[in-house]
């Protein structure tokens, strides 16, 4: 398994440094991010309209709609994300396709960890947090075994891709060993 970037010191990219997507042209990277956002919006619209029956799975993984509060606008922002279950918690990955920039939904959750998720037709309130170093070390191999694309994403970027734990309202936060499952 490839080494992950250090958690202790964030990577600093210099101008013109050819690391991951940092080596892409500015225009190409902006286009890639635009396409990711556009696909997420379209996916979310189909998902919501069908109650999750259409596009409820991507690459064999289930999909949820995460609604956060925009950190600058204060408006609701919704993203379609694949997820895993870890006990009562939901686990999402802040890969942004291997971009050196974190996804906006993760920046929003860092500002305000209260959010909601829509799975199928059911909406739940959740509280988000970054996985601890121990949780990340436990979950990352399971995540990459389930979907190999995350390995490629990590190789593209100098940042440590965050694993984000969404704890449903009323559930106890899970910090012990758990079985990571991908709900049917």
What's the CATH number where 167 sits?
2.30.110.10
**Does a structural domain hold residue 90?**
yes
* Pick from 54, 160, 144: nearest CA to 98: 160
Mean pLDDT of 148-158: 90
Kindly report, residue by residue over 37-73, the tens digit of the pLDDT: 777 777 666 666 667 666 666 677 899 999 999 999 9
Q: Which two tokens stand for residue 85?
A: 């279950």
Tell whether the model's pLDDT for residue 179 goes beyond 50: no
Split into its structural domains, the chain has a count of 1
Q: What pLDDT sits at residue 19? A: 43
**Does a structural domain hold residue 124?**
yes
Alpha carbon 124 to chain centroid distance? 17
Tell whether the model's pLDDT for residue 105 goes beyond 60: yes
Please list the residues that pair with 76 across neighbouring strands: 69
Q: What pLDDT sits at residue 44? A: 66
Quote the CA–CA distance of 181 and 184 in Å, as a whole number. 9
Quote the CA–CA distance of 164 and 183 in Å, as a whole number. 17
Whether the pTM exceeds 0.85: the reply is no
Residue 147 CB neighbour total at 10 angstroms: 19
* Pick from 94, 69, 68, 70: nearest CA to 82: 94
Q: What pLDDT sits at residue 94? A: 94
**Does a structural domain hold residue 86?**
yes
pLDDT confidence bin for 5, thresholds 50/70/90: low
Tell whether the model's pLDDT for residue 120 goes beyond 70: yes
**Does a structural domain hold residue 159?**
yes
**Does a structural domain hold residue 179?**
no
Continuous segment of H or E residues that includes residue 41: helix 26-50
More confident: 161 or 180: 161
Domain span holding position 95: 21-171
**Does a structural domain hold residue 127?**
yes
**Does a structural domain hold residue 146?**
yes
Using the structure block, give the residue that is written with the tokens 């080494």.
3
* Pick from 155, 114, 154, 163: nearest CA to 135: 163
**Does a structural domain hold residue 74?**
yes
Continuous segment of H or E residues that includes residue 62: strand 61-69
pLDDT confidence bin for 112, thresholds 50/70/90: very high
């Amino acid at each position: 398994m490839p080494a992950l970037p250090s958690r202790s010191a964030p990577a600093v990219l210099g101008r013109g440094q050819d690391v991951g997507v940092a080596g892409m042209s500015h225009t190409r990277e902006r286009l890639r991010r635009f396409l990711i956002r556009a696909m997420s919006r379209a996916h979310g619209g189909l998902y919501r309209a069908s109650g999750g029956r259409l596009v409820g799975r991507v690459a064999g993984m289930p999909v949820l709609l995460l609604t956060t509060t925009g950190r600058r606008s204060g408006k609701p922002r919704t993203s379609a994300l694949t997820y895993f279950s870890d006990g009562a918690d939901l686990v999402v990955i802040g890969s942004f396709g291997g971009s050196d920039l974190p996804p906006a939904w993760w920046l929003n959750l860092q500002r305000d960890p209260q959010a909601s998720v829509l799975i199928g037709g059911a909406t739940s309130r959740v509280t988000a947090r970054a996985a601890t170093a121990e949780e990340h070390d436990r979950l990352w191999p399971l995540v990459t075994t389930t979907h190999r694309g995350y390995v490629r994403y990590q190789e593209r970027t100098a940042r440590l891709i965050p694993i984000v734990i969404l704890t449903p309202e009323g559930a106890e936060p899970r910090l012990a060993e758990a079985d990571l499952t991908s709900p049917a």
